[in-house]
């Protein structure tokens, strides 16, 4: 305690101190107040402050309060007359912020989470905070104190693997308790980039552009990357099961079958995250009817079990994320990222909504609705965010539809199933040509009575494959969407080839198009057919017994078939093939679980540069052939060096043992009583000779005398 200018040094007794006169205002009690300060509850835990509210006059105040109350009721009940907005006494206009009193502090907490960053209109985005937290800003010192300067630590480049001199790709493999990342050396033993035990509790996954490796744990997920494979970020979501990245790798969605409880007591299964900051942007409850459910395979054709994941679907540029509410009260809810505010503050109401998909290249959503009374089934294309309907197509007698976009967004294929009789269905395909004026639609009638199990587009191409079954027979059909032409005879969709297949239930296209593999996996025998669609022919056939998975590398040069211990009990491991069907290597791996190629980001080369490379491909191939030869010679040299090393080890082993044997000679003579290694006298040695005669040739001549 400081006493300022009051001089108390002449006071020597308590009585003198009591009778003394001095100015109390000159005494500084700040040190005592700071030492014994008590944090008194303010009682405003249920109050929030909303900033960046439209500035209005008193005549528009009531209307603004109604809109604000309707919006914030989503967080919880608001007290009667619980909205307060200060005004400028001189102008009568509001000051751009207001206070909201909720019934409970939990509702106030939820309002901060839901509406921080909420876009109210084109020019106003809310900033929401608890009223009690405003007190912290009053304790900021008047004088600025610069924070301590942190030492700059350069981060590792997340795309460094693309600088490999040999332009090799990487893959991740899970075997037993170990997770490894390896360089692909084709037929040679792969080089290990990183391997760790107990790196994941379940499976691993790559992000869409290959920057991050995802590991799954009971506490949540973690992402790793860079040359040293450091942990980049972790996301806490207990018992997480499924993960989905945005196309640009800035955000991700996680789902767990065990919900976590929000501050207001709700149970949520889904969470949306910002990858760079690790911030949880928003969480959502999950209606049991929209939970991931396995789809039944059609036509009795064995195949992989598919799940309705992802629940949220990303637009091509990650600007929007959408989910649907199916059924009579159907709707598509679209949220803007990263604010996670509902687009235009309302969902798109669609009665009896069944399914929807984003275009892979535009802000267009496709969806279909079934027949209802006199209203036919309908496929609709709607543009976002304007909600303009760009195309509709009415369908009659429909029992089911499936939507399949081509990866370049040029075509939308709608599979339409109709009931031909009580026991037979007929399938047709409606192909929307998205790049042509008014979006014309090709209609293709498929073989009657054949039950379709798979539809698969050629990546960035105009062909698609159909797998169907009829009377215990399966067949594959390839179709070609003809380019637009002034002559109507050249337009439409053409059937290229139909061929009966046995033991096939999967079509797997090369990521570069043209080539595909037809395979029988998961419950089938593992038959393989390697197709060239330009020639419409089978280049080769193969077999990988009890094969469970098939994966193409990002270049389309290699394809891996594998048998996972998650689905099979024996012969686990993988086989690597060329795209033409030549087997490069077969690896039987004990406890093998997963093989997944690392994706590559889109090329930075311009179309002109790519065309130049294709034109001079023979010159480039010579360099790669020399590299392959060098690697082969290197492998042969390594084998020879290993053999020479083993011979040297054997000779050293013999020399060491001979030296030890010679060292024990004295002891050996003592035990035997003579030297067993000494040469015996010549008279004690009896030499025996053995003659062996062998008839080499035998001829018989008759001699006749005179």
Query: What pLDDT band is residue 491 in, cutting at 50, 70 and 90?
Result: low
Domain count, the chain: 3
Q: Are residues 31 and 53 in the same domain?
A: no
Query: What pLDDT band is residue 486 in, cutting at 50, 70 and 90?
Result: very low
Q: What is the DSSP string of 373-399?
A: TTBPEEEEEEETTTTEEEEEEEE-SEE
Identify the bridge partners of residue 393 per DSSP, sorted by sequence position: 379
Q: Are 550 and 567 in contact (CB under 8 A)?
A: no
Between CA 408 and CA 460 the distance in angstroms is: 5
Q: Which of 138, 160, 181 is the last residue of a domain?
A: 138
What is the strand order of the sheet 493-501 is part of? Answer: 451-457, 463-470, 473-481, 493-501
Q: Classify 347 in phi/psi space as left (phi over 0), alpha (psi -120 to 50) or beta.
A: beta
Q: Are residues 9 and 55 in the same domain?
A: no
Query: What pLDDT band is residue 289 in, cutting at 50, 70 and 90?
Result: low
pLDDT over threshold 90, residue 206: yes
| Cβ burial, residue 380 (10 Å; 0-12/13-18/19+) | middle
- Is 1 within the bounds of a domain? yes
Q: Give me the sign of the Cα torsion angle 145, 151, 153, 154.
A: positive
Query: Tell me, what's the pLDDT at 195?
Result: 96
Q: Are residues 11 and 82 in the same domain?
A: no
Strands 549-552, 537-543: pairing kind: unpaired
pLDDT over threshold 50, residue 487: no
Q: Which residue has the tokens 């587009």?
A: 457
- Is 285 within the bounds of a domain? no
Other Cβ atoms less than 10 A from the Cβ of 38: the count is: 4
Two tokens, residue 177: 């308790």
- Is 648 within the bounds of a domain? yes
Q: Among 7-21, 143-157, 667-681, name the one with the lowest average pLDDT.
A: 7-21
pLDDT over threshold 60, residue 32: yes
Average pLDDT over residues 275-281: 92
Residue 688: which residues within 8 A CB-CB, separation 6 or more?
A: none
Between CA 185 and CA 118 the distance in angstroms is: 51
pLDDT over threshold 60, residue 504: yes
Q: Are residues 55 and 33 in the same domain?
A: no
Q: Give me the sign of the Cα torsion angle 317, 320, 325, 331.
A: negative
Two tokens, residue 23: 């100015």
Residue 249: which residues within 8 A CB-CB, separation 6 or more?
A: 207, 208, 209, 211, 212, 275
Number of residues assigned to the chain:
706
Q: Which of 138, 159, 192 is the last residue of a domain?
A: 138
Query: Tell me, what's the pLDDT at 187?
Result: 84
Please report, for residues 45, 68, 74, 97, 413, the alpha-carbon distance to residue 48 in angstroms, rounded to integers and kept in the order given.
8, 13, 14, 11, 50
Q: Among 26-40, 47-61, 138-152, 375-389, name the one with the lowest average pLDDT.
A: 26-40
Among residues 92, 214, 166, 115, which one has the least CA distance to residue 594? 214
**Which of helix, strand or coil describes residue 696?**
coil
Query: What pLDDT band is residue 304 in, cutting at 50, 70 and 90?
Result: very low
Average pLDDT over residues 436-447: 91
**Which domain range does residue 7 map to?**
1-38
Between CA 519 and CA 399 the distance in angstroms is: 29
Average pLDDT over residues 497-510: 92
Query: Tell me, what's the pLDDT at 554?
Result: 95
pLDDT over threshold 60, residue 13: no
Among residues 175, 215, 186, which one has the least CA distance to residue 199? 215
- Is 462 within the bounds of a domain? no
Query: Tell me, what's the pLDDT at 676?
Result: 78
Q: Are residues 61 and 125 in the same domain?
A: yes
Query: Tell me, what's the pLDDT at 635?
Result: 59
Query: Tell me, what's the pLDDT at 291?
Result: 52
- Is 80 within the bounds of a domain? yes
Query: What pLDDT band is residue 247 in, cutting at 50, 70 and 90?
Result: very high
Q: Are 181 and 229 in contact (CB under 8 A)?
A: yes
Residue 292: which residues within 8 A CB-CB, separation 6 or more?
A: 242, 255, 307, 308, 309, 311
Query: Using one digit for the tens of pLDDT, what is the confidence trace for 414-434?
Result: 999 988 777 778 899 999 999
Among residues 175, 203, 200, 180, which one has the least CA distance to residue 192? 180
Q: Are residues 624 and 666 in the same domain?
A: yes
Q: Which residue has the tokens 């031909």?
A: 420
- Is 32 within the bounds of a domain? yes
Query: What pLDDT band is residue 642 in, cutting at 50, 70 and 90?
Result: confident
Other Cβ atoms less than 10 A from the Cβ of 185: the count is: 15
Q: Which residue has the tokens 């309705």?
A: 308
Query: What pLDDT band is residue 186 in, cutting at 50, 70 and 90?
Result: confident
Query: Using one digit for the tens of pLDDT, what is the confidence trace for 343-355?
Result: 988 999 999 999 9
pLDDT over threshold 60, residue 303: no
Mean pLDDT of the chain: 85
Query: What pLDDT band is residue 614 in, cutting at 50, 70 and 90?
Result: confident
Q: Are residues 65 and 96 in the same domain?
A: yes
Query: Using one digit for the tens of pLDDT, what is the confidence trace for 543-577?
Result: 999 999 999 999 999 999 999 999 988 899 999 99
Query: Tell me, what's the pLDDT at 401?
Result: 93
Residue 276: which residues within 8 A CB-CB, separation 6 or more?
A: 233, 250
- Is 441 within the bounds of a domain? no
Among residues 6, 171, 135, 151, which one has the least CA distance to residue 587? 171
pLDDT over threshold 60, residue 305: no
Query: Using one digit for the tens of pLDDT, what is the confidence trace for 113-130?
Result: 888 888 888 889 999 988
CA-CA-CA-CA torsion for 340, 344, 348, 349, nearest 10 degrees?
120
Query: Tell me, what's the pLDDT at 404?
Result: 95
The CATH number for 57's domain is 3.30.70.330
Query: What pLDDT band is residue 632 in, cutting at 50, 70 and 90?
Result: low
Between CA 185 and CA 585 the distance in angstroms is: 10
Q: What are phi and psi of 316, to 5 degrees?
A: -60, -30
Two tokens, residue 581: 């069907």
- Is 129 within the bounds of a domain? yes
Q: Which of 87, 103, 138 is the last residue of a domain?
A: 138
Q: Are residues 56 and 130 in the same domain?
A: yes
Q: What are phi and psi of 255, to 5 degrees?
A: -140, 140
pLDDT over threshold 70, residue 6: no
Q: Which residue has the higher pLDDT, 654 or 633?
A: 654
Q: Are residues 59 and 120 in the same domain?
A: yes
Q: Are residues 132 and 51 in the same domain?
A: yes
Angle between helices 617-663 and 607-615 (to 10 degrees): 70
Q: Are residues 615 and 634 in the same domain?
A: yes
Q: Are residues 54 and 131 in the same domain?
A: yes
């Amino acid at each position: 305690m400081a006493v300022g200018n009051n001089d108390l040094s002449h006071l020597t007794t308590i009585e003198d101190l009591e009778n003394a006169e001095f100015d109390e205002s000159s005494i500084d009690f700040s040190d005592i107040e700071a030492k014994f300060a008590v944090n008194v509850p303010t009682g405003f835990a249920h109050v929030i402050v909303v900033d960046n509210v439209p500035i209005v006059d008193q005549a528009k105040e009531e209307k603004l309060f109604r809109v604000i109350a309707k919006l914030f009721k989503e967080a919880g009940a608001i007290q009667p007359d619980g909205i307060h907005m200060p005004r400028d006494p001189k102008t009568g206009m509001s000051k751009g912020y207001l206070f909201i009193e909720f019934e409970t502090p939990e509702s106030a907490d939820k309002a901060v989470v839901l509406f921080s960053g909420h876009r109210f209109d084109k020019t106003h985005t809310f900033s929401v905070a608890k009223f009690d937290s405003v007190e912290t800003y009053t304790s900021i010192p008047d004088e600025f104190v610069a924070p301590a300067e942190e030492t700059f630590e350069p981060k590792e480049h997340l795309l460094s693997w693309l600088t490999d001199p040999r332009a090799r790709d990487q893959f991740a493999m899970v075997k037993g308790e170990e997770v490894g990342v390896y360089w692909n050396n084709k037929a040679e033993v792969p080089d290990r980039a990183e391997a760790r035990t107990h790196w994941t509790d379940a499976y691993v996954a790559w992000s869409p552009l290959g920057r991050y490796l995802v590991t799954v744990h009971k506490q949540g997920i973690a992402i790793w990357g860079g040359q040293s494979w450091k942990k980049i970020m972790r996301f806490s979501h207990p018992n997480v099961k499924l993960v989905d990245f945005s196309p640009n790798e800035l955000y991700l969605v996680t789902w767990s079958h065990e919900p976590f409880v929000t501050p207001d007591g709700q149970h949520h299964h889904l969470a949306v995250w910002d990858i760079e900051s690790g911030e949880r942007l928003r969480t959502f409850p999950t209606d049991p009817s929209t939970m991931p459910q396995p789809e039944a395979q059609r036509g009795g054709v064995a195949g992989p079990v598919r799940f309705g994941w992802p629940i949220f679907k990303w637009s091509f540029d990650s600007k929007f994320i959408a989910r649907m509410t199916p059924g009579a009260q159907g709707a598509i809810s679209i949220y803007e990222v990263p604010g996670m505010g509902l687009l235009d503050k309302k969902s798109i109401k669609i009665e009896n909504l069944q399914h929807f998909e984003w275009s892979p290249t535009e802000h267009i959503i496709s969806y279909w609705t079934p027949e209802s009374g006199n209203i036919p089934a309908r496929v609709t294309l709607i543009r976002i965010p304007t909600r303009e309907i760009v195309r509709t197509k009415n369908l009659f007698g429909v029992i089911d539809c499936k939507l399949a976009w081509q990866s370049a967004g040029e075509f939308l294929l709608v599979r339409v199933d109709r009931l031909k009789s009580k026991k037979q269905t007929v399938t047709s395909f409606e192909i929307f040509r998205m790049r042509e004026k008014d979006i014309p639609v090709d209609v293709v009638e498929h073989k009657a009575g054949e039950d379709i199990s798979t539809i698969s587009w050629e990546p960035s191409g105009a062909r698609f494959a159909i797998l169907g079954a009829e009377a215990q027979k399966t067949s594959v059909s390839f179709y070609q969407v003809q380019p637009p032409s002034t002559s109507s005879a050249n337009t439409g969709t053409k059937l290229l080839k139909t061929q009966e297949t046995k033991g096939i239930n999967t079509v797997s296209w090369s990521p570069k198009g043209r080539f595909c593999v037809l395979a029988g996996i998961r419950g089938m025998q593992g038959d393989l057919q390697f197709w060239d669609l330009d020639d419409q022919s089978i280049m080769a056939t193969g077999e990988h017994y009890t094969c469970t998975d098939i994966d193409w590398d990002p270049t389309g040069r290699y394809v891996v078939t594998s048998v996972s211990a998650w689905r099979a009990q024996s012969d686990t491991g993988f086989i690597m093939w060329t795209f033409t069907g030549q087997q490069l290597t077969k690896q039987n791996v004990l406890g093998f679980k997963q093989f997944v190629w690392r994706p590559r980001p889109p090329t930075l080369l311009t179309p002109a540069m790519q065309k130049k490379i294709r034109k001079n491909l023979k010159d480039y191939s010579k360099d790669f052939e020399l590299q392959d030869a060098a690697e082969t010679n290197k492998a042969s040299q390594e084998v020879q060096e290993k053999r020479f090393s083993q011979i040297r080890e054997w000779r050293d082993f013999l020399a060491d043992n001979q030296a030890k044997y010679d060292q024990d000679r004295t002891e050996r003579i003592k035990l035997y009583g003579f030297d067993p290694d000494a040469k015996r006298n010549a008279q004690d040695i009896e030499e025996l000779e053995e003659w062996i005669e062998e008839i080499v040739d035998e001829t018989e001549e008759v001699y006749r005398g005179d």
